[in-house]
Amino acid sequence: MKEVEIRRLFAANLLCVFSVILTAVVPALLWDGFTVLGTHLVWLCICSVCVGTVNVILHLVLKPNRSPKRSSLAHKISRFLKCCIYFFMSCIVFHAIIVLYGAPLLGSVTETFLFSVLLSTFTTLQCLCMLGPNIQAWIRVFSKNGAMSIWESSLQITTVCSILGAWFGAFPIPLDWDRPWQVWPISCSFGATFGYVAGLIIAPLWIHWNRKQLTYKSR
């Protein structure tokens, strides 16, 4: 059972990684003048949308968490609206935190906001898919011994990796190398993306490695 689950998780994660790679390659073929560096904002949008869509589709197909008991249409719609609101709020919160960390306050608002959208896609959207608009469940997952399935463990790892990647991405900005990717927010968004991809790959491997030690409380 567990092995099968891990294999499913691995496949799903590989799909996500694949989608990230495709966002960098496919638009360049379709559209003249597209480069990840040159038209970075466009790539940010494309990457957010693609990863978001893939995540939602995977969630609908795989259904890693049990469906809620009530599933009327009204309930579903309200859930969906709530998710949208949560996502938007997380974008705003990320934006605020990034600015507090030292991003320009007034200049390059678009860049900062798109970067926060990307970060939200990597972190909040996954949580929304996995756990629904339920803050308390989020709090539970992100504490010690809080994960209740391998999907939630994977969620922990990818989220932390994305944020760490974004954090490390800020490091090259002050260097005087004069590279195009040192411009705000390119290095940070690269960092976040690499972190996300690394998290996606690490998560199933880590779970596989520690499958003996990992025991999940059943609900």
Partner 1 sequence: MQRWPVLLFLAWVCLLFFAGIGLFMSGFLLTRIELASSSSCSDPLLPPPWQGQSLPPGSCWAPQRFSKAVLVIIDALRFEFARFNPAKASPLPYENKLSFLHHLTTSQPRHARLYRFRADPPTATMQRIKGLTTGSLPTFIDVGSNFATYAIQEDNLLAQLVQNGRRVVFMGDDTWEGLFPKKFFRSYFFPSFNVKDLHTVDDGILQHLYPTVDSGEWDMLIAHFLGVDHCGHKHGPDHPEMAKKLTQMNEMLRSLVDHLGNDTLLLVAGDHGMTETGDHGGESEKEVNAALFVYSRTPLFGTGPPEEPEAIPQVNLVPTVALLLGVPIPYSNIGEVMAELFSGDSDTVSAALQQLSVYHINAKQVDRFLQSYSLVAQDLPAEQLQRLQELFSGAVEEHTQLLDQVQGATLVPPELESRLGSLISRFQVYLREARAVCTQSWARFNSLRMVGGCTLIAASCLLCYMAAELAASSDSFYRSCLLYPLLWGLVVAVLLGLAHVFTQEGLDLLLVSSCTAAASQLGFFWHWWAWLGLAFPMGILLFRCGAMFSDSFVVAEARVAPFLLASLVMLLVGKLHWDGRLTVPEGPKQQVLGFSSYRREMWYLLCLVATLLVCVRLSGFFHQCREEIPQCRPSLFLSPLASLRNTRAKNLFYLLCVALLAGLVYAVRSWLRHYGNLNSSDPLVLFVRWGFPLLVLCIACYWAVVSSADDSLGKLQELVQVAIVAFPWAVYGLASMGLLLLLCNPLTVFAKDTWESAGSIVTPYLGAPSSEVDFLHVIPQIYKRMQESQKNRLERGSCRATIAAYGLGSVYSAALVIALTLLGFLLMLLHSERLSLAFLLLFLEAFVLLHIHTRARGLPFSVPWYAVISWLLAASQFFYSTGHQPIFPAIHWNAAFVGFHLDHSTNLLPAVLVGANTFASHILFAVGCPLLLLWPFLCEMPSSQKKKPKKEPREELQEVEEHMMEMRLRESPEKFSTALLQLGLKYLFVLGAQLLACVCAAMILRRHLMVWKVFAPKFLFESLGFVVSSICLLLGISLVMRVDCAVSTWFRQLQLR
Contact 20, 47 (CB under 8 A): yes
**Residue 170 is a binding residue for partner 1 (CB under 8 A):** yes
3-state secondary structure of 53: helix
Of the two residues 46 and 188, which places its CB atom closer to partner 1 in the complex? Answer: 188
Q: How many CA atoms lie within 13 A of 121 on its CB side?
A: 26
**Residue 107 is a binding residue for partner 1 (CB under 8 A):** no
**Residue 175 is a binding residue for partner 1 (CB under 8 A):** yes
**Residue 214 is a binding residue for partner 1 (CB under 8 A):** no
**Residue 82 is a binding residue for partner 1 (CB under 8 A):** no
Within 8 A by CB and 6+ apart from 210, the residues are none
We find the least distance from the C-beta atom of residue 217 to partner 1, in angstroms, to be 8
Of the two residues 136 and 215, which places its CB atom closer to partner 1 in the complex? Answer: 136
Count of residues that interact with partner 1, criterion CB under 8 A: 21
Give the C-alpha separation, 90 to 19, whole Å: 23
Of the two residues 171 and 209, which places its CB atom closer to partner 1 in the complex? Answer: 171
Give the C-alpha separation, 85 to 105, whole Å: 24
Give the C-alpha separation, 137 to 147, whole Å: 10
Residues at the contact surface with partner 1, assessed by CB under 8 A: 97, 99-102, 105, 136-137, 139-140, 142-144, 148, 167, 170, 174-176, 217, 219
